[in-house]
Amino acid sequence: MKYRQLGRSGLTVSALGMGAMNLSFGTGSAVDEQTGINVLHAAVDRGITFFDTAQAYGPYTNEILIGKALSPHRNNLIIATKFGFKLENGAITGLDSRPENIRAVAEASLKSLKTDYIDLFYQHRVDPNVPIEDVAGTLGDLIKEGKIRHYGLSEAGAATIRRAHAVTPVTVIQNQYSLWTREPETEVLPVCEALGIGFVPWGPLGTGFLTGTIDTSTKFDSSTDLRANFPRFTPEAIKANMPLVSMLKDVATRKNATPVQVALAWLLAQKPWVVPIPGMDKVAYIDDNLQAIDLELSAEDLANMDTLLAGIRIQGNRLDDGLLSMSE
């Protein structure tokens, strides 16, 4: 396994992390508990040290699964979880980053994860009703108390990052970033570089689109799959965005790789402090993804891909209106 440092924080993790959400929630039905444990153990066996979960995944069930599966390996792993959603009767009903809720979620997550510290605690979405300075101050207190070791922000903009960092240094930003979601390149990545903050792309495989296994006939169950409501996953948008998949497949053929590996290798080539967290709910996905770490994309490869990407206009918003409104 190769490792990367997330910015100047000293936090060292495997070059690819594991997004654990799909084991419990998000893009299909949850796996049974033993299957989830087996997949998580396979990730550990293959050298992954960085695992991403959240209170909202399930809700709650993903953290509990992580706790059961990974507690025997706890001292060798970096576990990230998140706070910031208001949960009522097992459903997300809004945002809540009030200091008292941050503390309540931290205590609940410690219990679910079967641990006495959280390596990385993210604000899941910026809460417009709570000053980011209050959030950063509370997280700084939790660091002093030893309950968390680092904190991060998810789906935060450049100005918010700077304000938070001025109160308590931010370790990691986790925003959506991939070959078809490149918005972070404009302002967020430059701020991360300037401040020494690591960057963790979520959705690095385009929430499945960049795997090359989705086409206009693919059906998304609205009861179990968030993508059923994403504008970028309508049949019309999928058809319009297929040139991106064709480009990936062409590069993969030339590099004797898979589209998944090319998409992840492209992200890894952007900055040495970028650590993608692809969703992995099958051992086969882990084995496919990990080969991206050793896939070399030359400067010429990257330049050619950029030229081709410039001619592809991605259609459809990346998230539905509700989730977009929870992003900054």
Helix (H, G, I), strand (E, B), or coil: what is residue 10? coil
- By the 8 A CB rule, do 139 and 161 touch? no
Tell me if 163 is assigned to some domain: yes
Tell me if 45 is assigned to some domain: yes
Give the pLDDT confidence score for residue 320 in this predicted structure.
79
What domain count does the chain have? Answer: 1
Q: Tell me, what CATH number does 290's domain have? A: 3.20.20.100
Tell me if 130 is assigned to some domain: yes
* Contacts (Cβ under 8 Å, ≥6 apart) of 125: 84, 85, 95, 154, 155, 326, 327, 328
Distance, in Å, from the CA atom of 202 to the CA atom of 86, rounded to the nearest integer, reads: 21
For residue 173, the enclosing domain spans: 3-207+270-295
Given 3, 57, 60, 117, which residue is catalytic?
A: 57
Tell me if 249 is assigned to some domain: no
Cβ neighbour number for residue 91 with a 10 Å cutoff = 10
Tell me if 162 is assigned to some domain: yes
pLDDT in tens, the chain (328 residues): 999 999 999 999 999 999 999 999 999 999 999 999 999 999 999 999 999 999 999 999 999 999 999 999 999 999 999 999 999 998 999 999 999 999 999 999 999 999 999 999 999 999 999 999 999 999 999 999 999 999 999 999 999 999 999 999 999 999 999 999 999 999 999 999 999 999 999 999 999 999 999 999 999 999 999 999 999 999 999 999 999 999 999 999 999 999 999 999 999 999 999 999 999 999 999 999 999 999 999 999 999 999 999 999 999 999 876 665 556 5
Tell me if 258 is assigned to some domain: no
To the query of whether residue 57 is one of the catalytic residues in this protein, the response is yes
Tell me if 305 is assigned to some domain: no
Tell me if 78 is assigned to some domain: yes
Give the pLDDT confidence score for residue 252 in this predicted structure.
98
